[in-house]
Structure 1
Amino acid sequence: MILGISASGRKDGIISKTVKAILEASNSEYEYISLSGKRINGCIGCTLCAADNQCKVKDDWNEIAEKMLMADAIIFGAPNYGGTINALGHACLERTFCFRHREAFSLSGKIGVAVSASYSEEGTSLVNMIIKKSMMVNKMSVVGAVSAHGYSQCYTCGFGHNCNAGNVVKKYGPLDKIEKKHLPPSFEEQEDTIFQVNNIGKLLRSLGV
């Protein structure tokens, strides 16, 4: 079974669509989880997980942890916020610290795929690197990554057309109005992203997950 996780705060954004597309392209049994609206705290360093490799902080992460342990492969997607992975995604990955005490490495051998989305190539590379590093620390087998084109909040905040600090003005200069032609490409319009998705799907099929 493949577990797909979208760490985006948007339920149906680029990350969500990319993770779902990979799951569908794999032609395998899968489950999809969105972290949107979930309460996931960071690790508090209590070390109570050392005895049994189970996190003792009680929130929405515990159910996700059980699904991670059951999965044969994990596709984890997160957006670029402020030049790095978003807090929700980071907290989710950080909590997997509980899986690797006393050399147990509960996620060891599971297949991993990283997914990121950003309005800059540099941003997607960094987020994918963070996700892959977390997987490798847990001794997972990372087989690939997908970098999608993100959708900056500046296009929907209501002030992006004339805000000099935002990405719209950086790209187009001040506008009277943000029109459809100015919007970033939707997932369906991203031929390069879809190409990556299909390749990862084929790879997962070949690995028999």
Structure 2
Amino acid sequence: MILGISASGRKDGIISKTVKAILEASNSEYEYISLSGKRINGCIGCTLCAADNQCKVKDDWNEIAEKMLMADAIVFGAPNYGETINALGHACLERTFCFRHREAFSLSGKIGVAVSASYSEEGTNLVNMIIKKSMMVNKMSVVGDVSAHGYSQCYTCGFGQNCNAGNVVKKYGPLDKIEKKHLPPSFEEQEDTIFQVNNIGKLLGSLGV
């Protein structure tokens, strides 16, 4: 079974669509989880997980942890916030610290795929690197990553058309109104992303997960 996780705060954003598309392209059994609206705290360093490799902080992460342990492969996607992974995605990955005590490595051998979306190539690459690093530290087998085209909040905040500090004005100059032609491509319009998605999905399916 493949577990797909979108760490984006947006339920139906680019990350969500990309992760879902990979799952569907695999033609394998899968489950999808969105972290949007979930309460996931960071690791508090209590070390109580050292005895049994189970996190003792009680929040929405515990159910996700159980699904991670049951999965054969994990497709984890997160957006770029300020040229790094978003806090929700980081907290989710950080909590996997509980899986690595006393040489147990509970996620060892599971297949991993990283997904990111960004309006800058640098930010996309860094987010994928962070996700893959977390997977490798857990001794997972990372088989690839997908980089989708996202868009900054400047396009939807209500002030982006004339904010000199924002990405819309940087790209187009001041606008009277942000129109559809100014928006970054939707997932369905991203031929390069869809190509990556189909390739990695088929790879997962060929591995029999």
Q: TM-score range by the shorter chain?
A: over 0.9
Shift of 1:152: 1.2
More off after superposition, 169-178 vs 85-94: 169-178
Distance 2:139 2:195 in 1: 28
Using the alignment, how far apart are the partners of 1:206 and 1:63 within structure 2? 28
Distance in structure 1 (CA, Å) of the matches to 2:73 and 2:206 = 13
1:32-63 Cα deviation digits (max 9, x unpaired): 00000000000000000000000000000000
Correspondence for 1:135: 135
The whole-number CA distance in structure 1 between the counterparts of 2:50 and 2:97 is 10
Q: Deviation at 1:166?
A: 0.6
Give the Å deviation of 1:192: 0.2
Distance 1:102 1:52 in 2: 9
Give 1:206 deviation, angstroms. Answer: 1.2
SS at match of 2:101: helix
What SS is found at the alignment partner of 1:76? strand
C-alpha distance in 2, partners of 1:124/1:94? 19
Alignment partners' CA distance in 2, 1:187 and 1:176 = 26
Q: Distance in 2 between matches of 1:146 and 1:99?
A: 25
State the Cα deviation string for residues 10-37 of structure 1 (Å, max 9, x = none).
Answer: 0000000000000000000000000000
3-state SS, counterpart of residue 113 of structure 2 = strand
| Residues in 1 aligned to 2:65 and 2:190: alpha-carbon distance in whole angstroms | 32
Q: CA deviation at 1:181?
A: 0.3
1:151 positional shift:
1.9
Cα deviation code 1:181-202 (max 9, x no counterpart): 0001000000000000000011
* Cα deviation code 1:95-127 (max 9, x no counterpart): 000000001000000000000000011111000
Offset of 1:205 from its aligned partner? 1.3
4+ residue stretches of structure 1 with deviation over 2 A?
none
Q: Which runs of 5+ in 2 are unaligned?
A: none
Q: TM (normalized to structure 1)?
A: 1.00
Query: What 5-or-longer segments of structure 1 have no aligned partner?
Result: none
2-structure distance, mates of 1:149, 1:123: 11
**Secondary structure of the structure 1 residue equivalent to 2:162:** coil
Distance 1:205 1:62 in 2: 27
The secondary structure found in structure 1 opposite 2:202 is helix
Q: Which residue of 2 aligns with 1:42?
A: 42
- Percent sequence identity is 97
TM-score normalised to structure 2 length:
1.00
* Residue 155 (structure 1) shift: 0.4
